[in-house]
Structure formats: structure tokens, C-alpha cells
Amino acid sequence: MNSNKRLSPNDPGSYSLPERVAVSHINLELEVDFTNEKLKGFVDLSINKIDEQCNQIILDILDLNVVSIINRDNGSALEYTIGDRLDVFGSKLEVQIPLCKTSTIRIAYETSKTATALQWLLPEQTLGKKYPYLFSQNQPSHARSMLPCQDTPSIKSTYSAKITVPKPLTALMSAVSIDIIDCGDSRKFLFEQTVPVQSYLIAIAVGNLVSKTISPMSKVWSEPEEIDKAVYEFEEIPELLKCAEKVCGPYVWKIYDVLVMPPSFPFGGMENPCLTFVTPTLLAGDRSLVDVIAHEIAHSWTGNLVTNCNFEHFWLNEGFTVYVERRINGLLYGESSREFAALGGLEDLRQAVIDLGAQNPLTKLVVDLSGIDPDDAFSTCPYEKGHTFLFYLEKLFGAEKFYLFFKSYVDKFKYKSISTEDFKSYLLSYFRTNNKTLQIDWDLWLYTLGMPPIIPPYDSSYQDVCEKLLDRWIKWDGSDEPFNESDISCFQTSQKIQFLALLLKNNITLIKIKAMQKAYNFNNNRNCEILLRWFRSCLKVKWLDPLELIFKFINNTGRMKYVRPIYRDLYNWDEVRQKAIENFEKNKQCMMYVCQYTVSKDLHLRD
Ligand code: BES
Ligand code: ZN
């Protein structure tokens, strides 16, 4: 471990030391200024000394303009210093705090135009073209560019907010809406999050937004133009929530809404409490991508209740969430379907290990992030390697016993932030009389590079037809064309996706790819998971024909899962590299910070 590159001993990515002084409540009062692309106002931090000798609090800030800091209880000014900026990590804000054990400080500040958490969209970048839009993405470490805070997932606080926005726009947050106050040209939206949350779960979206109710607990939000499509796509939410409760225990967040974001949203989904943010690429028209919703719902327990203490233990968030996502799949569609989804994940993992390089330390389950930007460390590994480990443990102890353990783990660590060690010692104490625990090689699972050390056998009934069809293509000698639409007409969407994942892994000729387009017309498919794997297969054999469609695909979405691998493939093809770079330069203004930043690295335009 490179300890001098860690910003603090417990979290390599945050200066704050919440083990000494902890923020227990955050009250935000902000005005959304679209003209200057700024949030301005103040934040009140209620602080609680753990170490009573400590007379200062350390906060993380990135590109914030701090105007003043006062003791809110008596109005007196508090001294503070701002340290040098350390690239993406930002700066240390040290504030001298009152002597008493608890106090509240008020920091007046403004965000900057370049705040990495925020994306400001012009009216022409929205569906309706009439009103501007703002949204945030704070995970992993961008909250510090939206508000001064202890930007580490090791500490949680409740929050409240008053957000002033121009009429007729609507503000939404990862909280319960309390009231809306009319103020002439503007409206004030009041929110309250009464369950303590880590900084990366504070989220905001402002735009011309409407909602439709799908159950007493859930609404779907979007711009008016796509609300009906969104409601259709996500109508299964109440069933998903019921299944998730069966796996994890009671839902504590009161409401579960979904907001369909503008296309530049860089992720598939983000588990902001009370209000999941999702990419519009989920609107496939056939509900075939609801596994992403199941995933974000699952985070209501794994991630949002039981939280990784820093992003070196990210697999505790994501591996556990993929595990719950697939348990939900199993409850709804049966064990074979669940295990088929796991096989799909395994293909994604194989691809990710190839992309990262099998010797890359980031392929470990638990990683060392000293001096590493967590945006650079993001990959499928914690998701799928984590899932494989939990599935292995389920098989080892037996489903019945492991299901009970899982619920008890959530109950034990809810409202807490934990490390892999906490999970390990709880599992060992829970199963202390069960000698199966002796079989677990912890170091092997947690620290080996590349693919998981053990891959348990999965039910392959859904997989077999995909493999059979691919086999036919591989063995085909080119004489008359024995393929057509009917080969895949009874495939589920997930089987088409898996067929293409297997295709991508194999070396198939350009002639066969062309014949496949003629038979199945993947070029014009509307499902982005299909398009991703299909276009990558086309790029692998350097087929020029679909190139325009491929550029259209990456120019119409900012979802990094799609944009990054395609740009990497384009870069690796000498003849189109320059065109890819020019395309990026032309379109980067429409991308959110994190997508722009990672793609410019993928294209070797920065180190
Ligand atoms: N919390 C993540 C998204 C995230 C991770 C944002 C790290 C920033 C940093 C979210 O829950 C997620 O995993 N989304 C996936 C969904 C998929 C695994 C079903 C995505 O965006 O594709
Ligand atoms: Zn997730």
C-alpha cells in the first residue's frame, strides 16, 4: 500500500477524518442559476465531535468558491484555510469549529461552471428543446464539487434542502419532497432525507419534468415527451420491489421513484435514494432492460443501507447488488433464468479482464486505490467477480442457509459503512459451527488477479441454444445460406445478447458477419445491449458499412458502457482512428465530465 498517496488513512480519496468529527445533518439552501451555470447559497453542517479535543473539521472541496463560514448558532465568523488542489481529488478545507461538542456551521458558497458532479444542458440539448436542464452524478467522489462535505462513504448523515428554481421547472432530489413554495418567478422545492446517507447519494435534477404514478409508492419521472414510454417500460417496479424485500428485508426509504435522464447521463442507472436516475437507453420498448431497475432497487439495501467504507471495497456495494438483482430475477423467472444472467455476467467479466489486462491490479476483488482516481478504477470486476464469490458461497453453504445469512448480514450492517474484513468476520462468526468455512480461501478470492479462482457450474439451459447457433455459424462453409430470422425468432432478448457476446469472443470472418446482418438485421435493432456487442463484432472484422450507424450510436448516448469500448475499438483500427478522434472532438461538449475525461484517456488524448 502506497500510504503517502492516501489522502487519509481510512479513505485514499478523501481528506476528511470523520472518525474525529462527524457531520450528522446537512441542510442545503441553493438557488439554481442557469444563466451562470452555478448553484449558489449555503450549506449548514451539523457537527458532532467524536474526539472532544478536536477543534477543526476537514472537508473536501473541488472547484468551489467559498464565500464565508460562520457559526450558525451565534453568527460569528469562523476561521478557515483552503489547501492546494490535488488534481481530481480537490482541496482540503479546514475550518476552526466552536468548542462545544455539537455545533452547526454555515458555509456560503458557489459551485463553478466546471463542477465535475454537475451537467448543465442548454434547451436544445433536451427532448423538449424549450427549457434548460441540470443534473448531478456524485458517485464516486464528485459530491465535493457540489457542496463542501466529508466526501467519503464511511460517514452518513441525514439531509434537508431548499432549492429555488425558475418557473416552470421542477427540482427533484434523492429525498422525499416536503413542500413547494411559490415565489413569483420562481419556486422553492423542499426536501428531506431522514435516513442517513453518504455524500455520493445526494443528488439533484432540475428540468421540465412530469410524472405518472405507477403505485402508491412509485412514480416515473421524465420530460413530457417520453413519459408514456417510460411508464410502459417500468411498470414492473412494484413486483421488483416485492421480490427485493423478500431477499433483503423491509424497504426503509418510503418512496421509490425513477427519473429518466437526458441521453448524456453517463451510467445505466444510479441508485439515488427515493429516486433512481436511469439512462434513456433503457427505453427499448419491450421491458427487456429492467434488470437495471432491479439492480438499482437492490442498492436500497446493498450500497445504500450497507455501504462500502471506501471505494477499495466497492465490491461490497456492486457485487452484492448484482447478487440481489439476480435473486430477484430468479424469483420472477426461475432459477435457470437467474443462472443464465450470471453466465452473461461472466462473459462481460471475461471481456473486462481482456480489456484491463489479466495482470492489472484493478482486476482484484479488493483493490488499492492509493493515488488512483476512482473514476479510472471503475470496471465490471467488482460487479461480476463479487457476484461469482457470493454465488460460490451460496453453493458452498446451500441456498437455504445462505439466504438466511444474507438477510441477517443486511440487518446487522444496515445504516453502517463497512470493509471486506467486516463481511468476512461476520460470515465466519455466523457459520462458526459449520466446517464448510474451512474451504474458503479468502486471500485467493480477494486478491488474485484476473478471472475468479473458482467458477461454480451454472445451469446452462438458456445458454445451450446460443452456443448451438454460434456453432452452426462457425462450422458453416459458405455454401448456400442456411440462416434466417427464424433462427432467433424464439430467442429471448437476453439470449440474443448472449449469442452476440459469444460471437464477439470468437474469431468469425467478415463474410460471415455480413451474412449475419442479412439474416438477422442487427444493425437496425433498438436494444443498445445488442447494438454494443454487434457493433463491436463488426469493428473486430473491420467492416466499413455500419460505420455511420456506429458513430450515430455513440453520438446519441453518453452512457460510458457503450461509448468507451466502441471508441477504444475505433482507436485500434488504424484507418478510422483519426475519424474517431475528430468525432470525439466534435461531440465532447455534449458529454458529461466523467465520460469526456475517460474517453479522452481511451483515445490517448491525455494520460
Ligand atoms: N452505482 C452504480 C453506478 C456508478 C458506479 C456510478 C460507480 C459512479 C461510480 C450503479 O448502481 C450501477 O452499477 N449501474 C450499472 C447498472 C448495471 C450493473 C445493471 C450501469 O450503469 O450500467
Ligand atoms: Zn450498482
How far is it, in rounded angstroms, from Cα 241 to Cα 246? 9
For the record, the C-alpha cell of 327 comes out as 435473486
Rounded distance between C-alpha atoms, residue 312 and residue 6, angstroms: 12
What's the confidence (pLDDT) of residue 480? 86
Residue 265 Cα to ligand 1 middle (Å): 11
* 268 pLDDT more than 90: yes
38-48 pLDDT, tens digit each = 999 999 999 99
Q: How far is the CA of 288 from the centre of ligand 2 (A)?
A: 18
Cα 276 to ligand 2 centre (Å):
11
Confidence of residue 500 (pLDDT cuts 50, 70, 90): very high
Is 70 exceeded by the pLDDT of residue 2?
Answer: no
| Pocket perturbation via mutation, ligand 1, pick of 264, 278, 312, 318 by most ligand atoms within 8 A of CB | 318
**Short-list 280, 275, 64, CA closest to 161:** 275
In degrees and rounded to multiples of 5, residue 45 shows phi and psi of -110, 120
- Answer yes or no: are the C-beta atoms of 150 and 50 closer than 8 Å: no
Give CA angle at 405 (401, 409), nearest 5°.
175
Distance CA 379, CA 364 (A): 11
Q: Among residues 37, 296, 347, 529, which one is catalytic? A: 296
Residue 582 one-letter amino acid: E
- Each residue's pLDDT tens digit, 4-61: 799 999 999 999 999 999 999 999 999 999 999 999 999 999 999 999 999 999 999 9
Average pLDDT over residues 286-300: 98
pLDDT tens-digit series, residues 78-98: 999 999 999 999 999 999 999
Q: Which three cell numbers stand for residue 231?
A: 411508464
pLDDT value at residue 443: 98
Mean pLDDT, the chain, integer: 97
Report CA(325)–ligand 1 centroid distance (Å).
12
Give me the mean pLDDT over the 201-229 stretch.
98
Residue 481: which pLDDT band, with cuts at 50, 70 and 90? Answer: confident
Q: How far apart are CA 324 and CA 386, in angstroms?
A: 12
All three cell numbers of 178, joined, read 416536503
Q: Which atom of ligand 1 is nearest to the CA of 299?
A: 11
Tell me which residue has its CA closest to atom 11 in ligand 1: 270
Which ligand 1 atom sits closest to the C-alpha of 594?
8
Cα–Cα distance, 347 to 353 (Å, whole number):
10
What is d(CA 554, CA 550) in angstroms, rounded to the nearest whole number? 6
pLDDT band at residue 3, thresholds of 50, 70 and 90?
low
Reduce the DSSP state of residue 301 to 3 states and report it: coil
- On the 0-12 / 13-18 / 19+ scale of CB atoms within 10 A, 437 is middle
Give catalytic status of residue 110 as yes or no.
Answer: no
Q: Which domains, and CATH codes, for the chain?
A: 15-121+131-200 (2.60.40.1730), 209-300 (3.30.2010.30), 310-447 (1.10.390.10), 464-602 (1.25.40.320)
- Alpha-carbon gap, residue 289 to 102, rounded angstroms: 47
- Provide the pLDDT for residue 1: 47
| Residue 13 in contact with ligand 1 by CB distance below 6 A | no
CA distance 131 to 558: 20
Instruction: Using the structure block, give the residue that is written with the C-alpha cell 435534477.
Output: 205
Q: What is the DSSP letter of 234?
A: T
Non-local CB neighbours of 35 within 8 Å, separated by 6+ positions: none
Please give the single-letter amino acid code of residue 585: E
Atom of ligand 1 nearest to the CA of 383: 18
Task: Please identify every residue whose CB atom is under 5 Å from ligand 2, which is an ion.
Answer: 318, 321
User: Are 352 and 380 within 8 A, CB to CB?
Assistant: yes
Query: How many A from CA of 578 to the centre of ligand 1?
Result: 31
With 0-12 / 13-18 / 19 or more C-beta atoms within 10 angstroms meaning exposed / middle / buried, residue 236 is middle
Q: What is the pLDDT of residues 435-444, one digit of tens each?
A: 999 999 999 9
The ligand minimizing its distance to the Cα of 140 is 1
Q: Under a CB-based contact definition with an 8 Å cutoff, are residues 366 and 387 in contact?
A: no
Angle formed by the axes of helices 528-540 and 493-505, nearest 10°: 20
375 C-beta closer than 6 A to ligand 1? no
For residue 299 and ligand 1, the question of a CB distance below 6 A is answered with: yes
* Confidence check: pLDDT of 197 > 70: yes
The residue whose CB lies within 8 Å of the most ligand 1 atoms, and thus the one to mutate among 295, 301, 592, is 295
DSSP state of 77: B
Kindly give the number of the ligand 1 atom that is closest to the alpha carbon of 292. 19
The 3-state secondary structure of 134-174, one letter per residue: EEECCCCCCHHHCCCECCCCCCCEEEEEEEEEECCCEEEEC
Percent of the chain's residues with pLDDT above 70: 100
Give the chain's count of helices (H) and strands (E).
Answer: 18, 21
Per-residue pLDDT tens for 349-370?
A: 999 999 999 999 999 999 999 9
pLDDT digits (tens, 9 = 90+) for 404-439: 999 999 999 999 999 999 999 999 999 999 999 999
Q: Could you report the per-residue pLDDT of 123-152, keeping only the tens digit for each?
A: 999 999 999 999 999 999 999 999 999 999
Question: Does the structure show a pLDDT above 90 at 157?
Answer: yes
The whole-number pLDDT of residue 4 equals 77
Residue 243 in 3-state DSSP? helix
CA of 267 to the centre of ligand 1 (A): 6
CB-based contacts of 156: which residues, under 8 Å, 6+ apart?
Answer: 196, 197, 198, 307, 415, 417
3-state secondary structure of 40: strand
Please indicate whether residue 458 is annotated as part of the active site: no
DSSP 330: H
Residues 93 and 60: beta-carbon distance below 8 Å: yes
> Residue 125: which H helix or E strand, with range?
none
Positive/negative CA dihedral, 107, 113, 117, 120: positive
Grid coordinates representing 384 are 461480476
Cis amide linkage into residue 224, ω under 30° from 0: no
Q: Is 140 in the pocket of ligand 1 (CB under 6 A)?
A: yes
Report the alpha-carbon distance of residue 425 to residue 431 in Å, rounded: 10
- Comparing CA positions, the residue from 82, 99, 100 lying closest to residue 91 is 82
Q: Report the relative pairing of strands 186-197 and 157-166 from DSSP bridges.
A: antiparallel
Which amino acid, one-letter code, is at 282? Answer: L
Average pLDDT, stretch 306-314?
Answer: 98
Collapsed DSSP state (helix, strand, coil) of residue 559: coil
| Spatial contact of 2 and 73, defined as CB atoms under 8 Å apart | no
- Sign for the pseudo-dihedral over CA of 280, 284, 286, 290: negative
What span, in angstroms and rounded, lies between the C-alpha atoms of 106 and 33? Answer: 20
> 313 to each of 139, 154, 338, 423, how far by Cα in Å?
14, 11, 25, 11
SS3 call for 214: strand
Ligand nearest to the CA of 278: 1
| Residue 384 CB–ligand 1 contact under 6 Å | no
Q: Write the DSSP symbol of residue 261.
A: P
Give residue 277's pLDDT. Answer: 99
- In this prediction, residue 106 has a pLDDT band, given cuts at 50, 70 and 90, of very high
Report whether residue 276 contacts ligand 1, using a CB cutoff of 6 Å: no
Residue among 15, 159, 323, 383 flagged as catalytic: 383
- Look at the block and give the residue holding cell 462458526: 432
